[in-house]
Amino acid sequence: MHPLVVQYRAVVVKEVRQTVRDKRVMALLTIAPLMQLFVLGFAVNFDVRHVPTAVVDRDNTSESRDYARTLLAGDTLDLKAEVHDERTAQELLERGEASVALVFPQEFQEDVLRGTGAQVQALVDGSDPVRSGVAVDAVARHAAQRAARLMQTDAVARGELPIRPPVELVPRVLYNPELSTAVYVVPGIAAMLLLVVTTIIMAMGLARERESGTLEQLQVTPLKPGILMAGKVTPFVIIGLVDVGLALSVGAWVFHVPLRGNLGIVALATLLYLLSTLGVGLLIATLSRTQQQAFVGGFLFLLPAVLLSGVMTPIHAMPDWLAWVTYFNPVRYYVEVLRGTLLKSASLGDLWRQVVLLGVFGTLVISLASRRFRKTSA
User: Of 17-25, 69-77, 106-114, 168-176, which part binds another protein (CB under 8 A)?
Assistant: 17-25
* 334 CB burial (10 A radius; 0-12, 13-18, 19+): buried
Contact 268, 292 (CB under 8 A): no
User: In this complex, which beta carbon is closest to another protein, that of residue 10 or of residue 155?
Assistant: 10
Judged by CB under 8 A, the stretch of 15-23, 59-67, 94-102, 365-373 that binds another protein is 15-23
The gap from C-alpha 249 to its chain's centroid, in whole angstroms, comes to 17
For another protein, give the closer residue by CB, 146 or 208.
208
Measured from the CB atom, is 18 or 234 closer to another protein? Answer: 18
Whether the CB-CB separation of 243 and 29 falls below 8 Å is answered with yes
Q: At closest approach, how far in Å is the CB of 363 from another protein?
A: 23
Q: Are 330 and 357 in contact (CB under 8 A)?
A: yes
Q: Which amino acid is at 55?
A: V
| Pick 344 or 371: Cβ nearer another protein | 371
Instruction: Give the burial class of 220: count Cβ atoms within 10 A of its Cβ; 0-12 exposed, 13-18 middle, 19 or more buried.
Output: exposed
Instruction: For residue 234, state whether it binds another protein (rule: CB under 8 A).
Output: no
Closest approach of another protein to the CB of residue 95, in Å = 55
Site residues for another protein, window 200-219 (CB under 8 A)?
212-214, 216-219
- Answer yes or no whether residue 65 interacts with another protein by CB under 8 A: no
Q: What's the DSSP call for residue 315?
A: G
| Span of 13-21, 47-55, 289-297, 310-318 interacting with another protein by CB under 8 A | 13-21
Question: Nearest approach, Cβ of 239 to another protein (angstroms)?
Answer: 17
Instruction: Please answer whether residues 229 and 286 qualify as being in contact, where contact means their C-beta atoms are separated by less than 8 angstroms.
Output: no
Q: How far is the CB of 233 from another protein (least distance, A)?
A: 17
CB of 342 to another protein, least distance (A): 38
Residues in the chain: 378
d(CA 324, CA 262): 29
Contact 312, 326 (CB under 8 A): no
Q: What residues does 52 pair with on adjacent strands?
A: 78
CB of 38 to another protein, least distance (A): 30
Using CB under 8 A, list all residues that contact another protein.
3, 6-7, 9-10, 13-14, 17-18, 21-22, 212-214, 216-223, 374, 378
